[in-house]
Structure 1
Amino acid sequence: MPEVPEVSRRSVLGGAAAGALAVGLGAGAASPAFAAPGADADVAAGAAAPSRRAGQTSMINVPYEAHRTVRVATIGLGNRGNGMTKGWSVVPGCQVTAVCDIRADRAKRVADDLVKAGKPRPAELGGSAESYAEMLGRDDIDLVYIATPWEFHYEQGRAALLAGKHVIVELPIATGLDELWDLVDTSERTRRHLMLAENCSYGRNELAMLKMAHEGVFGDVTNGHGGYLHDLRALLFSNTYYTDSWRRLWHTRSTASFYAMHGLAPVAAAMDINRGDRMTTLRATATAPKGLADYRERFVPKGHPSWNETYINGDLVTCMIETANGRVIRAEHDVSSPRPYSRINSLAGSRGIFEDYAGTSRTGGRVYFEPDHGGHAWRDFEPYRKEFDHWLWKKIGDDAANNGGHGGMDYVLQWRTVQQMRAGLVPDIDVYDSATWCSPVPLSVMSLDRKGKPVAVPDFTRGAWVNLRGGLDSRMTEMPPV
Structure 2
Amino acid sequence: MRKLRIGIAGTSRGSHFYEDFSKVKNAEVLAVMDPDEKSLESFCQKYPINHAVTDYNDLLDTGIDAVVIASPIQFHAQQAILALQRDIHVLSEVTAASSIDECHSLLNAAKMSKAQYMLAENYCYIRENIAIQNMVKAGVFGQIYFAEGEYLHNVTYLHYDDEGKPTWRRKETMSKRGCTYGTHSLGPPLTWFGERVKYVNCIGPGAHTMPEYENDDTTIMLCRTESGLLINIRLDMVSNRPHNMGYYSLQGTKGCYEAPRIPGEEHKIWLKDYAESSESWMNLKDVYDEFLPRELINFPQEAEGSHHWGADYFMVKDFVDCIRENQPVKIDIYKALEFTLPGLLSEDSIVAGGKPVEVPDVRTW
Name the TM-score, length of structure 1 as normaliser. 0.71
Secondary structure of 2:364 counterpart: coil
1:252 Cα deviation after fit: 5.0
Partners of 1:434 and 1:256 in 2: CA distance: 19
Map residues 300-315 of structure 1 onto 2, 5 A cutoff.
310-315=212-217
Q: Is the 8 A contact 2:255 2:271 kept in 1?
A: yes
Partners of 2:47 and 2:332 in 1: CA distance: 30
| Corresponding residue of 2:20 | 87
**Structure 2 portions without partners, runs of 5+:** none
**Structure 1 portions without partners, runs of 5+:** 1-66, 116-120, 294-309, 464-482
1:315 Cα deviation after fit: 1.2
Partners of 1:159 and 1:190 in 2: CA distance: 10
Letter of the 1:123 partner, please give it. Answer: H
| Corresponding residue of 1:124 | 52
Partners of 1:416 and 1:441 in 2: CA distance: 26
Partners of 1:186 and 1:197 in 2: CA distance: 18
| Corresponding residue of 1:436 | 338
Correspondent of 1:193 among 106, 110, 116? 116
Letter of the 2:11 partner, please give it. Answer: L
Partners of 1:156 and 1:460 in 2: CA distance: 20
| Corresponding residue of 2:126 | 203
Partners of 1:210 and 1:333 in 2: CA distance: 22
Q: Is the 8 A contact 1:283 1:453 kept in 2?
A: yes
Partners of 2:176 and 2:290 in 1: CA distance: 44
**Residue 219 of structure 1 pairs with residue 142 of structure 2:** yes
> Which one has the largest radius of gyration?
1
Partners of 2:147 and 2:299 in 1: CA distance: 28
Q: Is the 8 A contact 2:288 2:297 kept in 1?
A: no
Map residues 253-332 of structure 1 onto 2, 5 A cutoff.
253-273=175-195, 278-293=196-211, 310-332=212-234
| Corresponding residue of 1:112 | 45
Q: Is the 8 A contact 2:158 2:167 kept in 1?
A: no
* C-alpha distance 203-174 of structure 1, shift in aligned 2 (>3 A): same
Partners of 2:363 and 2:75 in 1: CA distance: 24
Correspondent of 1:337 among 239, 258, 276? 239
Secondary structure of 1:432 counterpart: helix
Map residues 371-386 of structure 1 onto 2, 5 A cutoff.
371-373=273-275, 374-386=277-289
Deviations 1:366-415 (A, max 9, x none): 1211032224343322212343224552475432014x222211111111
Question: Which is strand-richer, 1 or 2?
Answer: 2
Partners of 2:311 and 2:354 in 1: CA distance: 35
Secondary structure of 2:324 counterpart: helix
Partners of 2:263 and 2:97 in 1: CA distance: 37
Secondary structure of 1:345 counterpart: strand
1:237 Cα deviation after fit: 5.0
Q: Is the 8 A contact 1:200 1:206 kept in 2?
A: yes
| Corresponding residue of 1:398 | 301
**Residue 407 of structure 1 pairs with residue 309 of structure 2:** yes
Partners of 2:161 and 2:45 in 1: CA distance: 26
Map residues 67-82 of structure 1 onto 2, 5 A cutoff.
68-78=2-12, 80-82=13-15
Which fold has the larger relative contact order, with Cα–Cα distance below 8 Å and residues 6 or more apart in sequence? 1
Letter of the 2:194 partner, please give it. Answer: D
Q: Is the 8 A contact 1:396 1:412 kept in 2?
A: no
Q: Give the % identical residues.
A: 26
Correspondent of 1:174 among 92, 97, 110? 97
* C-alpha distance 134-178 of structure 1, shift in aligned 2 (>3 A): same
Deviations 1:441-469 (A, max 9, x none): 22011112322111111111229xxxxxx
**Residue 423 of structure 1 pairs with residue 328 of structure 2:** no
How many equivalent pairs are there? 363
| Corresponding residue of 1:164 | 87
Deviations 1:95-140 (A, max 9, x none): 111100001233333233233xxxxx321101xxxx00222233x2
| Corresponding residue of 2:57 | 133
Partners of 2:2 and 2:140 in 1: CA distance: 39
* C-alpha distance 180-391 of structure 1, shift in aligned 2 (>3 A): farther
Deviations 1:273-331 (A, max 9, x none): 2xxxx3211111112111224xxxxxxxxxxxxxxxx3110111111111122211111
Extract structure 1 runs of 4+ deviating beyond 6 A: none
